[in-house]
Structure 1
Amino acid sequence: MSVPAALHAALIAPPTLTIALSGGIDSLTLSAAAAEVRGRHAVTLCHAVSPAVPAAATARAQQFARDRDLTLRTIDAGEFADASYRANPVNRCYFCKNNLYGSLSKLGDHVAAGTNLDDLSDFRPGLMAAEEHGVLHPFVAAQMTKDDVRALARKLGLGDLAELPAAPCLASRIETGLRVEPADLAVIDAVEERLRKALGNVTLRCRRMQAGWLIELDAAVHDAMTQSQQGEVLALAKDLIPAHGKIGLRAYKRGSAFVHG
């Protein structure tokens, strides 16, 4: 059996199950595991379409469901109508997830998310919203880390998806305190897509900061570049950045747009 016994038990227990499918590796793997354990007609996938969700993630979720003949619902979670979310406070993620899980709970099923053990060691206000809405965390119940999830993805035949870099929502690229604007999110998504096509499937971020725009690349990739190559990266991004916007380039630093109090 591809699915570990503890995860199998967590996935088979609910009488009904909807997976919150972001399009990232955790929720994709959870969806594949749930389909194997419960059967493809006994699990529903639900993907929230939003300016904060990369277009590639939405396309990935849709292709995944088609390839496996799984039921996929798309919804608007409504976070952009929430003034608290748009203000981008330190706990912005709480308001995002509160809207998402509130919308999913109306579907009537038990809702599960792809949270793994590693996520519990990070500052994730969204987990509070998950608890308030009774969201299940099967990977946590099965004591699975991110590495465990990737290993399971390979066993389940997810191929290259198993190597997807972590990719939080686009709003995480906007510095805390700057209002979340759809236009900025569209720039971020366009820049990252262009750079990913040029550089491959590497960790990268386009950030909207108080001081301007910032491109961050995987440290090993960044440090191996010549000044000329770094200039080429900036040139690729520059014409997508709003006029007169300052733009810089540096090595990736996790959570650098997040201001801690």
Structure 2
Amino acid sequence: MNPELSRLSASLDTLPKLAFAVSGGVDSMTLAHAARFLAIDFAVVHAISPAVPSSATERVKRHADAGGWNLTIIDAGEFRDENYLKNPVNRCYFCKSNLYGRIREIIKDGMIASGTNLDDLGDYRPGLKAASEIGVVHPFVEARLRKQDVRSIARFLKLDDIAELPALPCLASRIETGIGINASDLIFVDKVERLVRSAIPDADVRCRITHDGVQLQSSVSVATDLVEEIAAQCEAEERIWLGVSSYKRGSAFKHDHKE
């Protein structure tokens, strides 16, 4: 067995029945597949909202069908939470509070588990506070596994469309702190990013909505015709186009933002 998977197995074996919060990203998807491989008793919960990329929901449904997962799709309700919609720097706290609270309502027994890995603990992650308050467990963290270890497990399980998947946090992470979260901005962000990824699927791409306008960030160069198409979409929606810059992780979060 893959050594990283062996460590994960030891972690999962200490836990009762689990409900995995699966976003559609590499971590939570790999966790569910690994549990299936290890014959762990589990359920999968996926939340849909304007902040969840449509491609992520499509991926979860496809893998659930292929893997025989017990999948429940929910509305976590964050778009009814004014604290979340105001988009403070700790927006993720309110998002995860709604998500895990809703999962707890429908999963009466067992524990809720996330795909958080050891590398995530070094970031500013207010969602982890919400997870702690609701008693969410993190099997990858318990097994001392990092992102590269998660990808190693995915490759071992032959999850070819998952193993090298770029990080894909929720679409609300593209909206600069202090700009209210609304569905139209998130639909626009998803549309632009799907367009770019159709041309350069392995790139880290973010369509940022900032206080100054729209900026595309990419880890690789973007073809001129694609840039022109995005600029035209901005013009059609009366958005200010700021151009393309290098990808910078977490740049929409402004810790010094004042209401």
Partner of 1:78: 77
User: Structure 1 residue 59: deviation in Å?
Assistant: 0.2
Farther-moved stretch of structure 1 (85-94 vs 2-11): 2-11
Residue ranges of structure 2 left out of the alignment (5+ in a row): none
Q: Distance in 1 between matches of 2:100 and 2:15?
A: 17
Aligned with residue 245 of structure 1, among 239, 246, 256: 239
- Distance in 2, Cα, partners of 1:24 & 1:73: 17
Contact 1:52 1:170 in 2 (8 A): yes
Task: Give the TM-score of the pair, scaled to structure 1.
Answer: 0.92
Distance 1:161 1:93 in 2: 24
CA RMSD of aligned residues (A): 1.3
Amino acid in the other structure paired with 1:13: T
Task: Identify unmatched segments of 5+ residues in structure 1.
Answer: none
- 2-side partners of 1:78 and 1:69: how far apart? 27
Structure 2 length normalisation: TM-score?
0.93
Which aligned segments of 4 or more residues in structure 1 are displaced greater than 6 angstroms?
Answer: none
Q: Partner residue of 2:252?
A: 257
Would the aligned equivalents of 2:27 and 2:150 in 1 still touch at CA under 8 Å? yes
The residue number in structure 2 matching 1:5 is 6
What is the one-letter code of the residue matched to 2:227? L
| Residue 86 (structure 2) aligns with | 87
Amino acid at match of 1:244: E
- Cα distance, 1:233 vs. partner? 2.4
More off after superposition, 4-13 vs 138-147: 4-13
Structure 1 contact 12–37 (Cα < 8 Å) conserved: no
| Partner secondary structure for residue 157 of structure 1 | coil
DSSP 3-state at the match of 2:50: coil
- Aligned-residue offset at 1:15: 2.3
Task: Tell me if the contact between 1:18 and 1:46 (Cα under 8 Å) persists in the aligned partners.
Answer: yes
- State the distance in 2 between where 1:6 and 1:200 align: 31
Aligned length: 251
Shift of 1:201: 2.4
Aligned mates of 1:154, 1:199 — CA distance in 2: 21
Superposed CA deviations along residues 25-84 of structure 1, whole A, max 9, x for unmatched, are 000110011112234xx2111100010000000000000111111111100000000000
Query: Matched residues, percent identical?
Result: 47
* 1:177 paired residue number: 178
Whichever residue aligns with residue 12 of structure 1, its letter is D
Does the CA-based 8 Å contact 2:5-2:34 persist in structure 1?
A: no
* CA apart distance, 1:161: 1.2
- Provide the secondary structure at the position in 2 that maps to 1:214: strand
Is the deviation greater in 16-25 or in 246-255? Answer: 246-255
Q: How does 1:95-244 map to 2 (within 5 A)?
A: 95-106=94-105, 107-108=107-108, 109-218=110-219, 221-222=220-221, 229=223, 231-241=224-234, 243-244=237-238
3-state SS, counterpart of residue 161 of structure 1: coil
**SS where residue 77 of structure 1 aligns?**
coil
Deviates most, 160-169 or 3-12 = 3-12
CA distance in 2, matches of 1:212, 1:123: 25
Q: Hey, what does 2:21 align to over in structure 1?
A: 20
1:180 is paired with a residue of what secondary structure?
coil
Shift of 1:240: 3.1
**How big is each residue's C-alpha offset from its partner over 1:136-181, in whole Å with a ceiling of 9 and x where there is no partner?**
1000000000000000110111113100000110000000000000
Report the CA distance between 1:14 and its aligned residue.
Answer: 2.4
Partners of 2:92 and 2:213 lie apart in 1 by 23
SS of residue paired to 2:186: helix
